[in-house]
Amino acid sequence: MIRRVDADPRRPHRLDVPRLPARVFLPSGRVARLSDEAARRAAAQARAPDIQPGGCMEALTLLEAEDVTRDGDGAPLDVRGLSLRDFHVLRALLLRAGVQKEETAELPCENCGEAFRVAPSSLLEIAPFVDGELDDPELDAPFDHDAAHVIPAIRVGAELARSVRVAARTVEEALPLFRAESAPARITPAIVIAMGITTLGRERRASAIAKALGEAPPEAYQSVADLLYEAHYPARLGAVHRCATCGARSDLDVPWRREIPYEIGEPRKARRDFPDLDAFEAMVASAADRIYRARGVRNIDLFVDDDVPACDDGGEPLLGCYTPGGTDPTLGMPRPPEIRLFYRTFQAEHRRDRSFDVAAEIDETIDHEITHHLHHLAGDDPLDDEEHAQIEEEALRRIGKREATRRAGKGVASELAGFVRTTWPLFVIAFVATYFTFCR
């Protein structure tokens, strides 16, 4: 699906221009045929000035333009009758192919703070849509439209609502949301209906729901928005960016700009305090004392590291890691085994999730690293094998099994998680031998 364009002599760098795939499977199971040529022709035409570039309305205009889409049998595709999930997949493909221009995401790496810029759709793995491999229990899970989904309490009139129901929506039904794209986020009854929210607690009236959402605490509203994203976008529409500096992964939404507002009003800053470095070290020391005794180990050095945390092979910042004893390669001196806890990962987890229990997580991390230590002494670390297998499995599900096989065949080691089985074990062995056995 990627075409290599001939180099223009004035531009020394060749560009890989991704094209729209000719045929894709959509989350609902239906098939869509796409014409790259017709889509580019439509994109070249002038558009109404109030249409947001890269947005849903623009996508709809392009998909409805002459010859751009057909259904599996070659008949015209009723784009407005598509579910939002199906539509957003097509939208992601338009962005990825550059038919629509995607806004660049500018973010700091959550692990080391280094800023990065990327168009998220350029990192989307599309092979599962092309190959019809949409059967992953998580990435392709259907949304439960009948269930009352639990949310933090939101006041609705005299009552507190603790659940919400979200119905499926077609493009046609969601048009009020699309039209509000370029306007500031305000929840109106029409928007509530377009979002598919059918009940908030026991309330069914869109007007009362709109008012309640508009006045809801930001965290509570965001948990509703998270559910709407889940309902109307398949989980597979996401990309993984790896930090060029520290290797940490950032998971980004594709498309990056979404029609459902994520923030209304001012986000609240108040957070439970996170212990400062001294307090954290004291917590670690007392926990280690207790856990070392309970597990019958000693002479494992313990460090609290407040530098940029190391990441596992999948790019997840580590809470802790274990390094077996050995000979220090630079000093040539014997070195005891060590357990290292990464202060900043604990801090980041706490920032992300206020219920993150720092003391309990310290305990669990130390205990977990001791398990690695004991496995290491026994000469075999099934825990480590399992962790590596999990990382590989995660990437495989995202990229698609068939695509992974194709890449392995071409010897393209574009993903760290090691589809190239010949280099993967060597990489792991080299790493473990010289450095850490990773964990947690």
Binding region for Zn ion (CB under 5 A): 109, 111-112, 114, 243, 245-246, 248, 439-440
Q: How far is the CB of 112 from Zn ion (least distance, A)?
A: 3
For Zn ion, which is the closer residue by CB, 114 or 306? Answer: 114
| Among candidate residues 420, 421, 423, 424, the one with its CA nearest the CA of residue 411 | 420
Q: How far is the CB of 123 from Zn ion (least distance, A)?
A: 16
For Zn ion, which is the closer residue by CB, 100 or 371? Answer: 371
Number of helices (H), then strands (E), belonging to the chain: the values are: 14, 17
Q: How far is the CB of 108 from Zn ion (least distance, A)?
A: 8
Q: Decide: 15 and 3 in contact? Cβ < 8 Å.
A: no
Q: How far is the CB of 121 from Zn ion (least distance, A)?
A: 21
Q: How far is the CB of 418 from Zn ion (least distance, A)?
A: 18
For Zn ion, which is the closer residue by CB, 33 or 242? Answer: 242
Q: How far is the CB of 381 from Zn ion (least distance, A)?
A: 9
| Among candidate residues 202, 184, 200, the one with its CA nearest the CA of residue 192 | 200
Distance CA 301, CA 285 (A): 11
For Zn ion, which is the closer residue by CB, 165 or 242? Answer: 242
Cα distances from 375 to residues 4, 322, 336, 364, 365, in angstroms, run 49, 11, 16, 17, 15
For Zn ion, which is the closer residue by CB, 116 or 262? Answer: 116
For Zn ion, which is the closer residue by CB, 246 or 408? Answer: 246
Element (H, E) at 304: strand 301-305
Q: How far is the CB of 40 from Zn ion (least distance, A)?
A: 36
Q: Which residues fall within 8 angstroms of residue 414, CB to CB, at 6 or more apart?
A: 407
For Zn ion, which is the closer residue by CB, 195 or 319? Answer: 319
Planar angle of CA 144, 256, 27, nearest 5 degrees: 35
Helix, strand, coil % (nearest 5) of the chain? Answer: 40, 20, 45
Q: Decide: 83 and 169 in contact? Cβ < 8 Å.
A: yes
Based on the number of CB atoms within 10 Å of its own CB, is 59 exposed (0-12), middle (13-18) or buried (19 or more)?
buried
For Zn ion, which is the closer residue by CB, 97 or 243? Answer: 243
Distance CA 362, CA 346 (A): 9
Q: Is the dihedral of CA 261, 264, 269, 272 positive or negative?
A: negative
Q: How far is the CB of 308 from Zn ion (least distance, A)?
A: 7
What would you report as the CA-atom Rg of the chain, rounded to the nearest whole angstrom? Answer: 25
For Zn ion, which is the closer residue by CB, 19 or 372? Answer: 372
Query: Which residue number is nearest to Zn ion in terms of Cβ?
Result: 439
For Zn ion, which is the closer residue by CB, 109 or 237? Answer: 109
Planar angle of CA 298, 303, 307, nearest 5 degrees: 165
Residues in the chain: 440
Q: How far is the CB of 72 from Zn ion (least distance, A)?
A: 43
Cis geometry, peptide bond prior to residue 255 (ω within 30 degrees of 0): yes
Cα distances from 258 to residues 142, 204, 216, in angstroms, run 19, 25, 21
Q: How far is the CB of 145 from Zn ion (least distance, A)?
A: 38
Single-letter amino acid code for the residue at 298:
R
